[in-house]
Amino acid sequence: MLLSNSVIANSNIQFGTSGARGLATDFSNNVCAAFTVAFVASLENKTPIKQVALAIDNRPSSPDMARACAAALLQQGIEPVYYGVVPTPALAYVAMQQGVPAIMITGSHIPFDRNGLKFYRPDGEITKADEKAILEADVAFSSVDELPVLSVNETAAKQYIERYTSLFSDSVLQGKRVGIYEHSSAGRDLYRAIFEACGAEVVALGRSDEFVPIDTEAVSDEDKAKAVEWSKSYHLDFIFSTDGDGDRPLLADEQGTWLRGDTLCALCAQDLGIEAIAMPVSCNTMIDGLAGFTHVARTKIGSPYVIEAINALNQSGAAVAGFEANGGFLLGSDMQINGQTLKALPTRDAVLPAIMVMASTVGQLENRVAALPTRYTASDRLKEVDKSISQVLIKEGIESPQSLLAKLDIASSAVAHVDTTDGLRLTLSNDDIVHLRPSGNAPELRCYAESDSADKAQMLVTTVLEAIYRSLLVS
C-alpha cells in the first residue's frame, strides 16, 4: 500500500496559482492517484462522495492522467464521470449544478512538457486551505498498474453551450463575422455552436493537431501578427480565442488588435451591471475609477485569492464578480440577462466576457476601448528562470528599490511606492508601474508594467526583462 502524502511529497508536483502543476513525466499513475484520494479525503469529513466529475484538455499526457485519477476513484468505490475534452469552466459548471466534486486535468497555458490537476468542491474551486488539506491527507491506496477505459459523457459540453445560448436571441450577433482561433483549445468544438446560435457568421482559424501553449498575458508576436492578417483577409468584426483549457479569453477588435484581459473583463463587468469587483494587484489601475464599481478589492495573483475576495464581497449584497489580468472572468452572483438567470460561476471563464462585450458593443470595439481612461498595461516573461533567482532579485528590490531600478535600466525615475502584495510592484515618481513576480505555475519570471501609453508600457517590460536577462542569466 502507498500513502498519499508520501507520494505527493516525493513527486516534484506543487500547487501554483491555480491547481497542482509540474512536468508531465512527474504525473505518474500513482501521483495522480495520490492527489485524487487525498482530494476525496479532504471532502469526505463534510459529505460522503459518490461521484467525481473528470475532464481534460488536449495535451497528449492528459488522457492517461484522467484514467489514473479514475482508477484511484474506483479503488475508493467512487464513480468517475468523464466528460472528455471540454473547457475547465464547462466541467466546473456541470459539477456545481449536479453537486459533485470535480478534477480537471490541464496545464492551462504552461509549456507543452507540463501538466496539472485542478480541483473543485461541489460548491466551486478549492481554496488555499483546501490545498493544505490535500497535501496533509494521509490516505492509503493501492498502486495503480492498470488504467480503465473511460466513456465520454456529453452533458458538460451541452450544458455549457446552453448556459450562453439561452441568454441571447439568435440575432444578437447578426451581421457580425467572428473568427475563432481554435489552435488546441479544449473548447474549440463548442465555441462555433455558441456564436452561431447568436447569429454570427463564424470563420475557423489556426486549428492545430499539436498542443499550443497560448498565454493570454504574454501573447506572442506571431499571434499578434496572425490576428491582424486574419482580420484583414476575412473582414472580421471580432476574433475570439482562449488558452489551452478555455478559462482565459483572447478577443481582438476589428483591426485584429488583441484586448488586454483586464480591459475585456472591465467592459464585461460594466455590461453585466457588476457593482463589486475582486481582482489581483496586477490589473490595470484605471479599473478602480470606472463608473459603477462601488467596491474594488485587490488580491494576490491566483484564482483562489480572487475567490476569497469574492466571498467577502458577497456579504455586501452587491452584484459581485472577479477577474484577472489574463482575462479569466469569475461570476460571483446570479445575474438577470434578457429575462433569464445566469447562474454564478466563481471560476475563470473565457466565453462570458467575450460574448457579453460582443453582444453589447454598438459600432466598433476599437472605439469603445479608446474611450476608457488612458492607462495601459503590458506583460511578458522570461522562461526557464529558477524561482530562487527570481526571489533573490525581488529581495534586493525590497531592500533597495532605487538600486534595483538602476540594474533594470530605468533609474531615471524615483520609486514613489513599494507594494509587496505579490512579488515586487514599484510605482515610480512619473506614475509608471513595474511589477516583478515569479510564476506560480512554471519556472518563469513575469514582468508587468503600466504607463500612460501602450508603447511605453511595452518598452518598460522589454527593457526590464532584457536587463534581467543580461545581469542574471548571461553573466
Residues serving a catalytic function are 108
**How far are the Cα atoms of 158, 185, 279, 468 from residue 86, in angstroms, in the given order?**
10, 9, 26, 38
- Measured CA to CA, the distance from residue 29 to residue 143 in angstroms comes to 8
CB atoms within 10 A of CB 51: 16
CB atoms within 10 A of CB 180: 24
What lies within 8 Å, CB to CB, of 307 at 6+ separation is 124, 125, 127, 278, 322, 330, 346, 347
414 grid coordinates: 524615483
Q: 43 — phi, psi (to 5°)?
A: -100, -30
